[in-house]
Structures are given as structure tokens and as C-alpha cells.
Structure 1
Amino acid sequence: MEIINGVERRRQWRVEDKLRIVAEAERPGARFADVARRHEVSRSVLWMWRKQVRAGTLVAEQAPVFLPVQIMPEPVVMSGSSSAASPRSPAPCEAGSGREASQIEIVLPDGTALRVPETIGAPALRRLLSALRG
């Protein structure tokens, strides 16, 4: 018999642990109740995790990937050239502000170029890069 003194707290499961336990329960021949008991998790919680995995709401995050960076000088635009503006000129930061936002240009190995403001957040940049790779 286990005697609990004090307040019992809910465990915080990492996403990787949830996915590992659900995968174990999904294996051929695995008994759902045995898997839940072995990991000391309620069967109802395990069913909820399984439902979330199948719905696509419980997914592992992709690990960040480092890409090689090469800093290149801005191209020189001749005053007598036919183009009126440099193709790398940054877009205005705010309408009417008179300031220009600094941009980061990312050129992928296949030649795809992506220009983003330097203030872009890591999650947004990660989504953009994964969309380009897919």
C-alpha cells in the first residue's frame, strides 16, 4: 500500500516521451493496459495521446538545422544602367515611416532565394524553410 503525504502533482510529460509511449502501445501484439501500467500513466490519458497523434496535434518538433552562411557584398549598381532600382533593395519597414527594414537573404543550394526582415522570429523562419524544402 502506498501512502501519499502532501499534495500530489500532475506529471509533465515531454512530447518525445508521449510519442514513444503511444508508439509502444501501437506495436503489434502490445496490450494497451500493460503499456499504460508499465509507464504509470492512466489508460484514458494514453487514449487521449493516441487520439492527438492520429489527429496530428501531437507531433515531434524538428530539430533546428544549421545551414552554411556566406556574406557577400552588395552589388554595385551603375548610374547609367537600365534598371531603376537595385533588385536587392530592402522593402520599407512601415508605410510612411521613411525607414527601411534590414533584410536577410537566404539562397538555398537549388538557387531559391528567400528575403526576410531581420526581425523575423525563429519559428516563422523554420516554417518558411521547411515549406521550401518540402
Structure 2
Amino acid sequence: MEIISGIERRRHWRVEDKLRIVAEAESPGACFAEVARRHEVSRSVLWAWRKQVRSGALAAEPEPVFLPVQVVQEAAPMASPAALQGTSPPADLDQCRPAQQIEIVLPDGTALRVSESVGSTALRRVLAALRG
């Protein structure tokens, strides 16, 4: 028996727990009301979770995936806009280039080259925009 003293507060469920309880309620032969009672969740909350799962609003976070990486000695230089127009680039352009670059090629062939000093937050935003 659980004795609650003071003001009762709402419980905060982890996504994993919600998914586990919904899966249990939807298993063959399970009694929806009994599952809700066993986990001390109201049936209306369990129905809401079930609806969220079915609509895709409630889903487990995807597991991180490692992609193959290929290290190459030196990438071919990118053509600058000035070279495409037939004019020579300014002399100080070479001084602005970073010493090291990271090249990321997505499965659709999109290539992204960034400086080694790029922040992880900025890189994450760019990659999210390219994938979206």
C-alpha cells in the first residue's frame, strides 16, 4: 500500500515506459483496463498513449548509427566561382583556406566540406537541413 502525504503531483513517465505499457496493453489476450490498473495509469491516459504511438507522435529515439568513413590523402580542389568565370582568384584567398577540411558525402551524393574547427552544433544543424 502506498501512502501519499501532501499534494499529489502528476507522474512523469519516460518514453520507454509508455511504449512498454502500450505494447503490453496491445498484446493478444491482454485486458486493457487490467494493464492500466496494474501500472496505476488511468485508462484515458493509456488510450491517449496508444493513439500517440499509432500516429507516430510517441516513438523511441532512434539508436545512433555509425557510418563508414574513408580517409583520403588529399581531396581534389574545389573550383571557386572566380575560376568558373575565367578570372583569377585573389592572392589572399589561399591564406583564408583552413589547413584541414572534413568532407561528408551523404548517400544521395551531396557533399559537404567544412573546416576542422567547425562547431558540432553548427554541423548538426547543417546536416539536419540537408537531410530534411
Fold agreement, TM-score > 0.5: yes
- Does residue 107 (structure 1) correspond to residue 110 (structure 2)? The answer is no
- Does residue 58 (structure 1) correspond to residue 61 (structure 2)? The answer is no
Q: Which has the higher helix share?
A: 2
The runs of at least 4 consecutive aligned structure 1 residues that moved more than 6 Å come to 99-103
TM-score (norm 1): 0.61
Counterpart Cα distance in 2 of 1:59 and 1:46: 15
Counterpart Cα distance in 1 of 2:101 and 2:128: 13
Aligned to 1:68: 68
1:1-134 equivalence runs, <5 A = 2-72=2-72, 73-75=74-76, 84=83, 104-107=102-105, 112-115=109-112, 118=118, 119-121=122-124, 125=128, 128=131
Aligned to 1:91: none
Counterpart Cα distance in 2 of 1:66 and 1:26: 33
**Seq. identity, %:** 60
Please tell me whether the aligned partners of residues 25 and 32 of structure 1 are also in contact (alpha carbons under 8 angstroms).
yes
Distance 1:76 1:50, change over 3 A: closer
Amino acid across the alignment from 1:105: E
Distance 1:8 1:29, change over 3 A: same
Counterpart Cα distance in 2 of 1:121 and 1:26: 37
Please report how far the alpha carbon of residue 123 of structure 1 lies from its aligned counterpart in structure 2 after TM superposition.
9.5
TM-score (norm 2): 0.62
Please report how far the alpha carbon of residue 67 of structure 1 lies from its aligned counterpart in structure 2 after TM superposition.
2.1
Please tell me whether the aligned partners of residues 22 and 49 of structure 1 are also in contact (alpha carbons under 8 angstroms).
yes
Unaligned runs of 5+ in 2: 85-95
Counterpart Cα distance in 2 of 1:36 and 1:66: 38
Please tell me whether the aligned partners of residues 103 and 115 of structure 1 are also in contact (alpha carbons under 8 angstroms).
no
Q: Deviations over 1:34-77 (max 9, x none)?
A: 11111111111101101111222111111111223333323257
Unaligned runs of 5+ in 1: 78-83, 86-98
Residue 111 of structure 2 aligns to a residue whose secondary structure is: strand
RMSD of aligned Cα (Å): 3.5
